[in-house]
Structure 1
Amino acid sequence: MSWLDICRETRFVLHKNSVALVLLVGFLLALFSVWTGSVEVAQQHATIERMQKADQQDQADVAQRYDEPGLLAYYTFHLTYAPPSSLAFAAAGVRDVYPWKHRIRMLALEGQIHESDTQNPELAMVGRIDFTFVIAVIAPLLLILLLHDLRASERAAGRLDFLSITARTGYSLWPLRAAVVVLALWLVLVLPFIAGAIFNGVSAGLMLSVIFIVLVYILLWSLLCYWVARFSFSAPVLASFLIGFWLLTTFIIPAVANVAIDKSFHGPQGGDILLTQREAVNDAWDIPIETTMQAFVVSHPEWAGKTQVKSLFEWKWYYAFQQLGDEAAKPLAQAYQQTAADKYRAAGWVAWLSPATLLQRTLTDWAHTDAKAAWRYEQKVRDFHAQLRHFYYPLLFNDDKYHAEALDARPVFEP
């Protein structure tokens, strides 16, 4: 194979109107996905910055208005958030399903976590056309359009035997044409990603990793298309077979597996957790104060001897039964998280039967936009809420006189 062969076949392939149109569509889709992803990430950063300023102002106003620890803990909201990673523009993942920001108080946490997610999960299932979707779902379809009639069109035109005989080598015709098509499609897809990655500050190593895995994914589909194109069937028959395989691995297998996994793993729902926590908190108003404080001391023995309540209402009693509400819902919350983790693990095994799903899971893992990242953020919220309790409990149970300087040691959420 000579350089002249490469130049000749490259010109021939790229000058075909059908090839140029498909490449243009691929480039525009990749460009659109990168642009919309970058806009979404910029909006999320702007939202976080705006909420940080509002949160600081709100906390300052509350600190000036109240001088009692119980009131401060009750009225002060604390912003928690999971900022998008640099690669989130290319792989949105489940950030439109799982909440990535909460404003929490010292009250029972489970209710705040499970009632703060106001997204509509049915609408969120539609997803968005991000770069991962374009590569995992659209790119194989573009390859099918480009490669399914690689030989069939020449066979229909009566030129197949002549071209095969006059080819300089066995690799200077069909493999070369396929390689030109694949390389051209890969370039039009990754060039917008490279521009978006540079704009969003993706590290060079991560950028190269994404580019490499996209190349591997496209090559796998290219080999399948090239192998199928060798059969002596008409172009529509070959295209139907490839599209059927694409539908099977990209949509049917994941959908059937999702239904099977949902039926195989059972656990409490978020509403069950919320209801259990609320019932425990509401019932505490009708339970003797001594009963509540005795139960609180069981999990917090360090405050034994300091739980006496001398009036009908004291803040340490109020926050004690808030804590007990969380403890009542804790078994359900743990079961909920375990069930979700089991489903995610099972879906990981099914992903090996669906290259598109496997690619999406890989890229969302790198972008920290998958379910695991959402669970890590939720755990960070729980840890921060525990820090708030450790800060306020001494002020509530020691009955020391409050000083404004004490707020300087109040924990601040760090994502």
Structure 2
Amino acid sequence: MSIVNSLVREIKFTVRDRTIWFWMAIVFGLSAISLGFGIAEVERQNASIQRLIKIDQQDRVAQLEKQKSWGSAAYYSFHLSYDAPSDFAFAAMGLRDSQPWKHRVRMLALEGQIYERDVANPSFALIGRFDFAFFTAFIIPLILIILLYDLRSGERIAGRYKLLEATVGQARNFWLLRAGLRGAALFVCIIVPLVVAGFIVGTQASTLLFACLYVFVYVAFWTLLCSAFSAWNKTGSVILMSLVTVWVCTAVILPAGARLTIDKAVELPSGSDILMLQREAVNDAWDLPREATMNAFFEQYPEWRDYKPVESSFEWQWYYAFQQVGDQQADPVSNAYRNGRLRRDQLATWAALLAPPSLLERSLQSLAHTDLQASIHYEDRVRAYHAELKGFYYPKLFQNQVFDQSQLRDLPQYKVTQ
């Protein structure tokens, strides 16, 4: 019964503390605001995708109706590909602010198309988006520090510390209980808006459960850390500065230092380098002997080696062959870029073990499919779709099939997967 009595007593004490109510209201409000921003952004992206799907379909139909050959049909028709936000993306937008999530691809060289992107908002690139993941990972520890740094020093200043420890029995359990109640109240104020938002947008229950678990462990970690520091027999200002120093180290210095170290350790080309290399290869092909281009193409597609070339200054088979050769020449650099990003991300994951704010943010982004793995998975889907388009057009081009408008109804459709 003593445990129950202590719990009831501390709950009553916590409820009477207006300062705690103030910070709980702040946390609840900021959590709801961050989720509201996320839901609005997801709705904007979904609306943009639906609008683009309609426009893309209308534009392609209009263009294909004008064409008289397979080559021109492939050249003038665009095909929309996109990575729709997941049902949890509203909580952690991740790389969707900096990595492309929609393309309109053609049968031309693909690498340059993949690494073309919309101009991003420079403020998001600099400071990131205020989403639930950022709020929970970086702001919540500061609020916990404010609530718990003077847990004991405040009682010392008020002259109640010795009396409290003399009357509660096991003093250690008493202070842990008081800190735990404040941490639990904070956790509820964070999670309730998240769960409500999740139900509104239809997030899977398992995803919400894991998100709640991650946040619970994170809040418990900072609650125990603050409680341990508050036991230090120092003034409140010293304890406060010590905890803020820990936060600065784990939230700013360690992640920034790790990123600089990883970037130097794992060098990789940029997307613009790949784009320029592919474009130079395509442009140079106009001045090369046609046989050189076709032989390089046949190394990748030997099944078309026996095609019958058209005796003219221009033929679509040769044109699409040197587009493919441009991709082949850029392929080693593109693979280096892809593998380098994955390696950097892997090292950043290990480094995040020393930086809890980064670890929580990355964990939530992984749940939301807005991390680097999801971005590269989308790029792979675009490449697979482009390969399907080539699989549709190449037989018609290299077998010199007669153009038939009705067959364009069988054009591959982009498949949406997560």
Same fold (TM over 0.5): yes
Give, in whole Å, the separation in 2 of the partners of 1:117 and 1:77.
17
Q: Give 2:134's aligned residue.
A: 133
Report the Cα offset of residue 176 of structure 1.
2.5
Query: Alpha-carbon deviation of 1:245?
Result: 0.4
Mapping of 1:370-381 within 5 angstroms? 370-381=371-382
Counterpart code for 2:160: R
Residues of 2 paired with 1:170 and 1:164: CA distance?
5
Q: Does the aligned pair in 2 maintain the 1:6–1:172 contact within 8 Å? A: no
Residue identity over aligned pairs, in percent, reads 42
CA-CA distance at 1:168 after TM superposition? 5.6
Tell me the residue number matched to 1:26.
27
Contact 2:97 2:124 in 1 (8 A): no
Equivalences for residues 274-289 of structure 1 within 5 A: 274-289=275-290
Q: Which residue of 2 aligns with 1:193?
A: 194
SS in 2 for 1:94: helix
| Structure-2 change in CA distance of 1:326 and 1:122 (3 Å) | farther
Q: Deviations over 1:373-410 (max 9, x none)?
A: 00000011011111111111111111121111211221
For 1:255-404, list aligned pairs within 5 A: 255-404=256-405
Q: Distance in 2 between matches of 1:354 and 1:303?
A: 54
Alpha-carbon separation, structure 1, partners of 2:174 and 2:162: 12
Where in structure 2 are the equivalents of 1:131-170 lying within 5 Å?
Answer: 131-167=132-168, 170=171
Match for residue 59 of structure 2?
Answer: 58
The equivalent of 2:212 in structure 1 is: 211
- Please say which of residues 60-69 and 374-383 is displaced more in the overlay: 60-69
Q: Does residue 96 of the first structure (1) align with residue 91 of the second (2)?
A: no
Instruction: Answer yes or no: is the 8 Å Cα contact 1:45–1:83 preserved in 2.
Output: yes
Judge conservation of contact 1:110–1:274 (CA < 8 Å) in 2. yes
Cα distance per residue 1:79-138 (max 9 Å; x no partner): 000111111111111111110000010011111111234326674242111111111111
C-alpha RMSD over aligned residues: 1.5
1:244-302, Cα deviation, whole Å (9 max, x unpaired): 00110111000011111111111222122111111111111111222222222222111
Note if contact 1:293-1:317 (Cα within 8 Å) is conserved in structure 2: yes
Superposed, which structure 2 residues align to 1:31-46 within 5 Å? Answer: 31-46=32-47
Residues 1:176 and 1:294: Cα distance change in structure 2 (over 3 Å): closer
Residue identity matched to 2:398? F
Q: C-alpha separation between the residues in 2 aligned to 1:107 and 1:356? A: 43
CA distance in 1, matches of 2:371, 2:3: 47
Residue matched to 2:244? 243
Provide the rounded CA distance (Å) in 1 between the counterparts of 2:22 and 2:403: 72
Question: Contact 1:98 / 1:117 at 8 angstroms: preserved in 2?
Answer: no
Unaligned runs of 5+ in 1: none
Equivalences, count: 415
Which amino acid counterpart does residue 379 of structure 1 have in structure 2? D
Give yes or no for contact 2:64–2:76 (8 Å, CA) kept in 1.
Answer: no
Q: Is the 8 A contact 1:5 1:172 kept in 2?
A: no
Tell me which moved more, 290-299 or 209-218. Answer: 290-299
Query: Structure 1 residues 13-22 or 50-59, which shifts more?
Result: 13-22
1:156 Cα deviation after fit: 0.5
Q: What residue identity is the alignment partner of 1:89?
A: F
> C-alpha distance in 2, partners of 1:166/1:116?
66
Secondary structure (helix, strand or coil) at the match of 2:177 reads helix
The whole-number CA distance in structure 2 between the counterparts of 1:44 and 1:146 is: 38
What is the CA–CA distance in structure 1 between the aligned matches of 2:347 and 2:192, rounded to whole Å? 34
Q: 1:301/1:172 Cα in 2 relative to 1: closer, same or farther (>3 Å)?
A: closer
- Partner deviation per Cα, 1:317-362 (whole Å, 9 max, x = no partner): 1111111111110011011111111111111111111011111111
Equivalent residues of 1:289, 1:309 under 8 A apart: no
TM-score by length of structure 2 reads: 0.96
Task: Supply the AA of the counterpart residue of 1:282.
Answer: N
Following the alignment from structure 1 to structure 2, what is the Cα–Cα distance between the partners of residues 343 and 3?
Answer: 50
Question: Take 1:372 and 1:167, find their aligned partners in 2: how far apart are those partners?
Answer: 51
Q: Read off the aligned partner of 1:130 and give its amino acid letter.
A: D
Q: Deviations over 1:160-207 (max 9, x none)?
A: 111222226547742322122111100001011001111111111221
Match of 1:177 in 2: 178
Output the amino acid matched with 1:239.
Answer: L
- CA distance in structure 1 between the aligned counterparts of 2:345 and 2:126, rounded to whole angstroms: 16
Query: Gaps (5+ residues) in structure 2?
Result: none
**C-alpha separation between the residues in 2 aligned to 1:249 and 1:257?**
11
**Any idea what the Cα deviations from partners look like across 1:215-247, whole Å, max 9, x if unmatched?**
111111111111111111111111110110011
Cα distance, 1:60 vs structure 2: 1.1
User: Compared with structure 1, are the counterparts of its residues 284 and 37 closer, same or farther at alpha carbon in structure 2 (3 Å cutoff)?
Assistant: same
Per-residue deviation, 1:306: 0.8
8 Å Cα contact 1:97-1:121 kept in structure 2: no
Q: Structure 1 residue 5: deviation in Å?
A: 3.5
| Aligned-partner Cα distance in 1 for 2:288–2:136 | 59
